[in-house]
Amino acid sequence: MTSAGPAATTSVLEPYALRVEHLENPIGLDEPRPRFAWRLRTSGAGTRQAGYRVVVSGGRGETAWDSGRVASDDQFEIGYAGVPLRPFTGYTWTVQVWDADGVAGAGAEGTFETGRLERPWVARWIGRDRRDRPAFLAPADDDLTWNTRGLPAPSLLRTTFDTARAVTFARLHITARGLYEARINGRLVHDTALNPGWTDYQRRIFYQTYDVTSVVRTGSNAIGVVLADGWWSGFVGYDARNAGRLYGTAPALLAELHLTLADGSTQVIRTDETWRESAGEWLHADLLMGEGVDARRRPEGWDAPGFDDARWRRALPFGDDTATVTGATTPPIRTVAEVAPVSVRNDADGAAVIDFGQNLVGHLRLRIRGAAVGQFIELTHAEILDDDGRLYLENLRRAEARDIYYARGDAEETFEPRFTFHGFRYARIAGLGAELDPADVRAVVISSDLEEVGAFDCDSPDVLQIVSNTRWSQRGNFLSVPTDCPQRDERLGWLADAQVFAPTAARASDVSAFFATWMVDVVAGQSPDGAFGDIAPAGPWMGEGAPAWGDAGTIIPMMLFDTYGDRRQLAQSYPAMVRWVEHIRRANPDLLWRERVGSNYGDWLHAGPETARDVLATAYFANSASLVARAAAILGHAEDELRYTSLAQEIRDAFVAEFVREGIITSDTQTCYLLALDYDLLPADQVPGAADRLVQLVRAAGNRLTTGFVGVSKICRVLSAHGHDDVAHALLAQEEYPSWLFPIRHGATTIWERWDGWTPEGGFQSANMNSFNHYSLGAVVDWIYATLGGIDRVPGSVGHREVLVRPRPGAGVSRAAAGQETPLGRVATSWELVDGRFSLDVELPPGARGVLSLPTADLASVSDGAGGSVAGEVAVGPHGEVEIRVGGGRHRVVVDGVAPGVPAPAGTPLRAAR
């Protein structure tokens, strides 16, 4: 196919979205050799980067590194190679790019600021000894429950300092064993929440750095910090034995305020035993149990100069062991949205019952008007209502999701919990004594503040609701770590849940830093024998990981490399990946994974016949061995590459010999064929039959799913990969149980943990495990972006350098548009099917290459819509479809004679170009 190509353009390359260590203008960076990245855009077509120059300048303007002009199209993983970076120093970096014709593009500038870089802390951990003061009880014990009555209250910690001259530079470096909220001179100095986040505290604790230059003033100043238990010493997980002693028995604070004054002198204010400590207005504050506040006890002005703290205690020093403290490497938790009520009604007891119209994660902000002194107000939260219209609380198990407040008695006051979070759509507010004005309450949504990089739109409200439900479940469960549910007494980082969902997560958000950070905890939880766990951070949930759970330790590092080009993270994880595969091999010399299988969950929460667990386990063993072989090839470990390539093949051979008879795989379930096909376990001549058997099983189930957590992420992708888009579309459009639309037909606004979390026939599933906000079953959204949106990676490509644009109408969708920010830049598609004419518009970033896979085998039906042909190299796809290979820029393709939902006839030869 020939064309004159795009007209000449004077457009230039423009770098944007500059990142350092996957973060935008980070402060407090403790990486001595940071990596730089940028995306590119241009108004022209066919332009690509052929060279770059990165210059890093120090705080006084001196050049720390100049890469010089490098002939390369690399845009990410550009490693710093200059003089050693200084601690506590701000740097500016610029990038200049050139295109293939040597034309200079627009320059761009970013910043980063180093943290301690192993500079020793002069601060000490401080807190209070809980043995000398009982928990701060409510005025009426009846207002507390058995869980909250014994909970300790947060502490207030403060100090004062003077500055003789104007402050030109001020940075607060702060962390906690627990949670902190930091204030200077009466002002909150951060917009982040639940700091410093959850990591494996025994191995590392993050500190954050804040620019507080505008807050510190000449003369008298005060620092005030609220210190709460959080994950350190509060309730965590589902085991009551973990309450209050998962990592320690009491929280502690570590902080340094570094000042530079107008005369160039410096000053450091640090936590030590000179700080003062007291109780505040809190009765208790716990992530799972909720928060209680008695506003009458609030010490006004405690965080400002001039406050009389003579009756406060001296803070108790907790030691100076700071070896595990390091700069944060992932975006913090923030408020990401606020949701107004869609309805408010009063129940039989006069309490206000609020529906926010959306299951979400966070807390309430309640404005209280005209309350009496000491008036007791109770906030209760639930995901769903029972058959009588009451809040359904049984599935919360021990988590109380209950906040309480004793009013101060002001004309107007606000209650907003700060050290807890709840998963809820509904809330009940009791004790107001008056009608609730809907304007007085908001649901405050919190999440790890990840850049939103994906967008999807189409003409099917059902598909849009699936995408929305999945996005909300991701938002609610990505809080510092990828949790399994946000409402009950669990909220743990289960590995299988994360690995099946990770590709979908990357569609909505930039999860590069989020998952790379969590992988450090995954590796840290590995046993000396090489077994990854089921959960990270591991805490007391140590033990050998189950098949598909422990395998996250090999799957996610490779996903991060494929999606973001993160070679460093792959290299850091590689030894642990090898140890995992060797752990399985030692226990299973016949290469059938039946021993050392941990809890062996199988295809968790499957909705049909059970997949044999040794079939599932052995398939994952083969996949992990293949991933280790591929990682070895990428990292240059040639001997390992040969070793694990051979091992993977031997496992495949063992799989076929043991589990495959006359084309039928043991247990004969949807999931066993999905695993065999997705992980390339079968000889080539058995692949078509396995794909056909998969289709038969789907049809026999009435176009319904029978998979659980493991199979759900694969089913639509595998069907499409083997020429069965129509079957995948039928699954997506299915409304009856089990299906993605069944919960939506019953009001779901997030993804349910179970296909049958509630059914008309059986009501609620067992309250022992029934979350209505759990992202795993939403893993189909990756396929929605790839097949309805048409944006995917060509297999083997890294960072979307090669984009597979493969839109396929179906599932009642005749129009769709998708956008995806990739490491190279933005990919966007838009298509519609009207009266048999399929029109596709594509935008690829500079430097990307695209394969336009069209829903036809008839080349003569393809044009540019204006009577001409489409520029690009023509090829035949795996199922006979037309493929056109193009470069970066904008492209338009029109195909005539396309029927909705009908796949292209496989094997039809391409006709000659017109």
| Chain segment 4-54, per-residue pLDDT in tens | 333 444 578 999 999 999 999 999 999 999 999 999 999 776 689 999 999
Distance CA 525, CA 747 (A): 38
586 contacts: CB under 8 Å, gap ≥ 6 = none
777 contacts: CB under 8 Å, gap ≥ 6 = 709, 712, 740, 751, 752, 753, 755
State the pLDDT at residue 906.
45
**Segment 473-489 mean pLDDT:** 97
State the pLDDT at residue 543.
84
Strands 792-793 and 802-805 turn out to be antiparallel
pLDDT band at residue 577 using 50, 70 and 90 as cut-offs: very high
State the pLDDT at residue 907.
40
Is pLDDT of 789 > 50? yes
Residue 819's SS3 state is: strand
Are 91 and 59 contacting, i.e. CB atoms less than 8 angstroms apart? yes
Q: Which of 670, 794, 803, 777 is nearest to 724 (CA)?
A: 670
**Whole-Å CA distances, 451 to 104, 474, 778, 825:** 29, 13, 20, 14
**Whole-Å CA distances, 884 to 235, 347, 725:** 56, 62, 20
Q: Which of 590, 641, 594 is nearest to 620 (CA)?
A: 594
Distance CA 714, CA 727 (A): 13
131 contacts: CB under 8 Å, gap ≥ 6 = none
Distance CA 607, CA 49 (A): 49
Residues of the chain with pLDDT > 90, as a percent, come to 89
Are 551 and 597 contacting, i.e. CB atoms less than 8 angstroms apart? no
Residues constituting the chain: 914
Of residues 241 and 293, more confidence is placed in 293
Catalytic residues: 490, 753
**Segment 232-259 mean pLDDT:** 84
Residue 633 corresponds to which tokens in the numbers above? 């090839």
pLDDT band at residue 646 using 50, 70 and 90 as cut-offs: very high
State the pLDDT at residue 856.
95
State the pLDDT at residue 146.
62
**Segment 742-750 mean pLDDT:** 98
State the pLDDT at residue 262.
96
Q: What is the pTM of this model?
A: 0.96
Strands 90-99 and 108-114 turn out to be antiparallel
Q: Which of 754, 773, 900, 894 is nearest to 838 (CA)?
A: 894
**Segment 839-868 mean pLDDT:** 94
Q: Which of 713, 728, 709 is nearest to 679 (CA)?
A: 713
Is pLDDT of 495 > 90? yes
Q: Which of 722, 745, 718, 721 is nearest to 733 (CA)?
A: 745
State the pLDDT at residue 46.
63
pLDDT tens profile 50-76: 999 999 999 777 999 999 999 999 999
pLDDT tens profile 279-326: 999 999 999 999 999 999 999 999 999 999 999 999 999 999 999 999
Residue 134 corresponds to which tokens in the numbers above? 């009982």
**DSSP state string for 576-617:** HHHHHHHHHHHH-TTS---SS-TT---STT-SSSPPPHHHHH
State the pLDDT at residue 47.
82
pLDDT tens profile 887-902: 999 999 999 999 876 5
Q: Which range has the worst mean pLDDT, 4-18, 412-426, 558-572?
A: 4-18
pLDDT tens profile 704-721: 999 999 999 999 999 999
Is pLDDT of 139 > 70? no
Distance CA 374, CA 136 (A): 16
Residue 273's SS3 state is: coil
- Type of residue at 401: A
Average pLDDT for the chain:
94
Distance CA 172, CA 164 (A): 19
**Segment 629-650 mean pLDDT:** 98
Distance CA 478, CA 475 (A): 6
State the pLDDT at residue 504.
98
448 contacts: CB under 8 Å, gap ≥ 6 = 330, 331, 332, 333, 478, 479, 480, 514
Is pLDDT of 909 > 50? no
**Segment 565-577 mean pLDDT:** 98
Using only C-alpha atoms, the chain has a radius of gyration, in whole angstroms, of 29
- DSSP assigned state of 777: G
State the pLDDT at residue 142.
64
pLDDT band at residue 244 using 50, 70 and 90 as cut-offs: low
Residue 873 corresponds to which tokens in the numbers above? 């190299």
727 contacts: CB under 8 Å, gap ≥ 6 = 695, 698, 699, 703, 719
